[in-house]
Amino acid sequence: MTTLLEVKDLTKRFGGLTAVNHFSTQLVEGELCALIGPNGSGKTTIFNVITGIYEPTEGNIIFQGEDISGKRPDQITKKGIARTFQNIRLFKGLNVLENVIVGKHLRLASDPASAILHLPNYLKEESKMRSSGMTLLESLGLDRFAEDEPTSLPYGLQRKLEIARALATEPRLLLLDEPAAGMSPSDAEELMAFIQHILDSFNLTIFLIEHQMRVVMGICPRIIVIDHGEKIAEGNPEQIQNDDRVIEAYLGVVDHA
Amino acid sequence: MKMKRNTILTIIALLVIIVLLFLAEKSLNPYYKRILNLCAIYSIFSVTFNLIFGYTGQFSLGHAGFAAIGAYIAALLTLSPAQKAVNFFLKPIISPLANVEFPFLFALIVGGLLTAVLSMLIAWPALRLRGDYLAIATLGFSEIIRSLMVNMQSLTNGALGLKGIPGYTNLFWSWGCLAVCIFIIKRLVDSSYGRAISAVRDDEVAAEALGVNLFKHKMMAFGVSSFFVGVAGGLMANLISTIDPKVFLFTLTYQIVGVTVMGGMGSLTGSVISASLYTIFLEALRPLESQFTIGSLTVPGIPGMRMVIFSVLLLMVILFSRKGLMGNTEFSWDGLFRLFNRLRSKKGEGSTGGDES
Amino acid sequence: MTFDSFLQNLANGISLGSLYALIAIGYTMVYGILRLINFAHGDLVMLGSYFAFYGVSMFFLPWWAAFIFAIAVTAGVGVVMEKVAYRPLREFPRINLFTAAVAVSFLLENLAIVIFGGRPKAFSRPPFLDKMLNIGSITFVSYTPIIIGVSLVLFVGLILIINHTKAGTAMRALSKDIETTGLMGVNTNKIIMFAFLLGSCLAAVGGILWAIKFPQINPLMGVMPGLKAFVAAVLGGIGNVGGAMIGGLLLGIVEIMLVAFFPSLSGYRDAFSFSILILLLLFRPTGIMGEVQPEKV
């Protein structure tokens, strides 16, 4: 098993506020790992630092053996990390298929001039982008909405579309920020099956944030718990459930039913 | 089938337009030709603003300044050495420019390129700013450019401006440049690069997370846009033949914004229609501002009245239609046929206007 | 430069800066609440001076009554402008709101050309504002301290209104979060109208004082002061009333001092102001007093 991502002693401060405090972890290739914690515990901040939206105050992010801390988000995506957002951020002015193939743009070799002049090399790339975008939509069951406006889709499908769009960038590592947020328990369960499906069929690693522990118990073999920006526990679902610090941090939030 | 029909229609339409331009250039009086030229120039201004704001979402208010750069460069390159000597009587023009005179095409291209380069130099730091702050910074730059033009006498002849610029601009030049401009911008926004800039417009954070290099794409849109703004500035200089810094006040930018919003953000067709209507409308109302006689009655002109009417109309359009004249739809033959069919089926109830091709 | 002429320039700079500040406050209040760059605000300055001019020359009002008349009518115009042109567009894309401001600005300027005429008019100062004053070895015209004094009183009054009245509190709340404040039972429309009322009054005072300082008025006279005041509002941190005052004063002083110290550069005065603006934006986009708000992801 090879290490894909290594977060080394990461600290992120905003002014006087420490959002993430000396957080370290490793992800190995092909695993599905969850990051959970109460609201405001720093989960999204960790994602934002990994994907380059914020620069780390201290510490490093090593991806496939390369230090990527401080790089721009688009550079990091190009290296193979894609993500979704907690609040859905689809492109309203583009249709469903176009939303997906924006994710293919970073691999485009043709320059703007050949795109404007419709040179053969560009046209070939364009049709390849479209067909692979359609294939992706098909494999996720979204192909019949290809020409629709993204905002016309029901909420659950918008979530899936965001994941499809991230997959279009051909990531090695996929970060999902609360993919089940705002879903009913049954929809959340279906989404988790969907995520498992992606893990199995796309040959990648998934790191996902979840607010409720119960949602991830079923599918994530490894769970990391943070509170107030610090890692308080790490292990398999059973270990996490019985961890005193986790119970303390979560009491009243965890649903033991 | 449909594709083929549309291509044929497009070719026919282009030929008709070329013939019409030819006839207009031959037979119309200079006043009408000037209006038609201005239509094309304002259309370029509006289409380019649409690229930078409607498609890329960058609220840039630098159009007037950029047009000024293009206009001054084209003017200085096409003015004859003798005319330059006449113009620069207060302070002589700097030496290499004094003795040169270039063909119009060269002047337009150099004007466009230098405008693009200068505007990208300005955009380089300014594009870090978002939303209104970018608008403020570019507006500031536009006014700095104008202020430099007032003060750099040996280059621009200061507040006196430049006179006697050769009137090279004709309908072929102006409408030809507009055609090239629309072709390039339309192809660009329909390409993968176009999807990327639309993504930047809709959500910068998400676009960047999908691997779109924000800076590169904004710069690209800025460069293409200001190249054509510079060209349009040059066309304008060689049309009106007298330019001074006051022509390029930031109110020119406001007019362009108003015209573009009126036409519809994200519709190049709307930009052209709106810009042409605006130009024709202002000219048509010109009699209001000059003295006219009805029978034996002499009515004094009312200066300012045209813009009063225009601003009320502009206000009406944005108050009553959220998306302007065209929204974000473009002209297409299919759309035109659909419209015909709808009109027909409305009139004669018998015919069902189904989708025939 | 002697110390005396420095003081003289400083007084001059403060008086110009006070005018910028008076106008800037209207920009900043409206921006703070509606996120609208109300470019028509500069034209209210022009209206203020014209109404005062006509109050004296046409209705033969004593100068103080003419000034009150001008302030009241200008405020009325400001409120109508908000109600007719801006309120219906609040839910529209922001560019529509901005374009409405552009349209209103064109409308006011050209209506002024139609009604008042395009030629500049000479504004006559009340006699007591035309005296030369000597304090020690410094000489200045009596309007300079009056402009500074009036502005100061208005600044203090405004700060009291904003911090110690219900309407002021509501205004501050609106600029933080317009939706939530509306849900808490605040009458949003009324408060926004109040902000326009205050801003327009200050613009009118600014216009009258401007005409006293530069006694030639024309329909486009509001454009440049408006733009400069807007720069001042951004310098101070747009949306922040205290910032607008500081930004205005700073801009006025810097402009006058630049010309005083480097007379050869006087032609570049406007370019210089805008350069300061751009530099500040690049290094501190939220202005001197503005709060830095990290974007939520």
Q: What is the CATH number of the domain that holds A67?
A: 3.40.50.300
Mean pLDDT of C229-238: 90
9-68 in A: which are within 8 Å (CB) of C? 14, 44, 48, 53
Check: CB of residue A209 under 8 Å from CB of residue A177.
Answer: yes
A77, closest residue in chain B (CA to CA): B211
Contacts of B302 in chain C (CB under 8 A): 114
pLDDT band at B290 (very low <50, low <70, confident <90, very high): confident
Which of B188, B210, B220 lies at the smallest CB-CB distance from A102?
Answer: B210
Which DSSP symbol is given to B162? B
Instruction: Compute the mean pLDDT over every residue in chain B, rounded to the nearest whole number.
Output: 89
- Write the ipTM: 0.92
255-294 in C: which are within 8 Å (CB) of A? 294
pLDDT band at B353 (very low <50, low <70, confident <90, very high): very low
What pLDDT does residue A172 have? Answer: 96
Residue A165 lies in a domain: no
Instruction: Compute the mean pLDDT over every residue in chain A, rounded to the nearest whole number.
Output: 91
C292, closest residue in chain A (CA to CA): A15
Mean pLDDT of A203-223: 88
What pLDDT does residue B329 have? Answer: 83
% chain B with pLDDT above 90: 60
What pLDDT does residue B268 have? Answer: 95
Give the torsion sign (CA, B80, B82, B87, B93): positive
Residue A11 shares a structural domain with residue A75: yes
CB atoms within 10 A of CB A31: 16
Residue A179, token pair as written in the block: 């993919």
Residue A176 shares a structural domain with residue A74: yes
Mean pLDDT of B202-224: 96
Residue B298 lies in a domain: no
pLDDT band at B352 (very low <50, low <70, confident <90, very high): very low
Mean pLDDT of C204-228: 94
Per-residue pLDDT of B118-143, as tens digits, reads 999 988 888 888 788 889 889 999 99
Check: CB of residue A195 under 8 Å from CB of residue A34.
Answer: no
Mean pLDDT of A226-243: 90
What pLDDT does residue C293 have? Answer: 55
Residue A63 shares a structural domain with residue A189: yes
Domain count, chain A: 2
**Residue A101 domain boundaries:** 92-155
Residue A114, token pair as written in the block: 């050949």
Residue B147 lies in a domain: yes
A217 or C67, which is more confident?
C67
Residue B271 lies in a domain: no
- The answer to whether the CB atoms of A106 and B210 lie below 8 A apart is yes
Residue A160 lies in a domain: no
Q: Does residue A85 belong to the interface with chain C, where contact is any CB pair within 8 Å? A: yes
Mean pLDDT of A10-19: 90
Residue A70 shares a structural domain with residue A177: yes
Per-residue pLDDT of B73-131, as tens digits, reads 999 999 998 888 888 887 777 778 888 889 999 999 999 999 999 999 988 888 888 78
Instruction: Compute the mean pLDDT over every residue in chain C, rounded to the nearest whole number.
Output: 89
Q: Which residues of A touch B (CB under 8 A)?
A: 51, 53, 72-74, 77-78, 82-83, 85, 89-94, 98, 101-106, 108, 110, 112, 115-118, 122, 125-126, 129, 165-166, 168-169
Alpha carbon B132 to chain centroid distance? 22
Residue A255 lies in a domain: no
Contacts of C239 in chain B (CB under 8 A): none
Mean pLDDT of C277-286: 83
pLDDT band at C136 (very low <50, low <70, confident <90, very high): confident
Residue A72 shares a structural domain with residue A192: yes
Mean pLDDT of A128-143: 94
Contacts of A53 in chain C (CB under 8 A): 297
Per-residue pLDDT of C34-76, as tens digits, reads 888 899 999 999 999 999 999 998 888 898 999 999 999 999 9
Check: CB of residue A88 under 8 Å from CB of residue A154.
Answer: no
Grouping H, G, I as helix, E, B as strand and the rest as coil, residue B36 is helix
Mean pLDDT of B281-295: 80
Q: Where are the strands (E) in C13-115, listed by range? A: none
Residue A70 lies in a domain: yes
Residue B198 lies in a domain: yes
B-contacting chains (≥3 CB pairs under 8 Å): A, C
Which helix (DSSP H) or strand (DSSP E) does residue A234 occupy? strand A230-235
Whether A145 has a pLDDT exceeding 90, the answer reads yes
CB atoms within 10 A of CB C76: 14
Separation of alpha carbons C271 and C160, rounded Å: 36
Q: Smallest CA–CA separation between B156 and chain C, in Å?
A: 14
Determine which of A243-257, B171-185, C27-41 has the lowest per-residue pLDDT on average. A243-257
A-contacting chains (≥3 CB pairs under 8 Å): B, C
Separation of alpha carbons A48 and A7, rounded Å: 13
Convert C116-172 into a string of H (helix), E (strand) and C (coil): HCCCCEECCCCHHHCCEEEECCEEEECHHHHHHHHHHHHHHHHHHHHHHCHHHHHHH
Check: CB of residue A232 under 8 Å from CB of residue A226.
Answer: yes
**Residue B171 domain boundaries:** 28-249
Residue B46, CA distances (Å) to B38, B227, B259 in order? 12, 13, 7
Strand partners for A208: A34, A176
Which of A78, A116, A125 lies at the smallest CB-CB distance from B187?
Answer: A116
B87 or A106, which is more confident?
A106
Domain count, chain B: 1
What pLDDT does residue A215 have? Answer: 80
Q: Smallest CA–CA separation between B237 and chain A, in Å?
A: 29
Which of B143, B205, B319 lies at the smallest CB-CB distance from C270?
Answer: B143
- The answer to whether the CB atoms of C99 and B261 lie below 8 A apart is yes
Separation of alpha carbons A88 and A100, rounded Å: 14
Separation of alpha carbons B114 and B230, rounded Å: 8
Residue A87 lies in a domain: no
HSE, CB side, 13 Å, CA atoms: give it for residue C209.
Answer: 27
Q: Smallest CA–CA separation between B200 and chain A, in Å?
A: 9
Mean pLDDT of B177-190: 96
Exposed/middle/buried for residue C183 (C-beta within 10 Å: 0-12, 13-18, 19+)? exposed
Check: CB of residue B70 under 8 Å from CB of residue B142.
Answer: no
Residue A126 shares a structural domain with residue A180: no
Residue A75 shares a structural domain with residue A122: no
Residue C81, token pair as written in the block: 């402008």
Contacts of C39 in chain B (CB under 8 A): 254
A43, closest residue in chain C (CA to CA): C297
What pLDDT does residue C142 have? Answer: 85
Whether C78 has a pLDDT exceeding 80, the answer reads yes
Q: Which residues contact C85 (CB under 8 A, 6 or more apart)?
A: B315, B319, C100, C101, C103, C104
Residue A163 lies in a domain: no
Separation of alpha carbons C8 and B250, rounded Å: 33
What pLDDT does residue B348 have? Answer: 56
What pLDDT does residue C60 have? Answer: 87
Which of B199, B213, B214 lies at the smallest CB-CB distance from A102?
Answer: B199
Mean pLDDT of C90-108: 91
Per-residue pLDDT of B305-330, as tens digits, reads 888 999 999 999 888 888 888 888 88
Residue A108 lies in a domain: yes
Whether C292 has a pLDDT exceeding 60, the answer reads no
Q: Smallest CA–CA separation between A118 and chain C, in Å?
A: 33
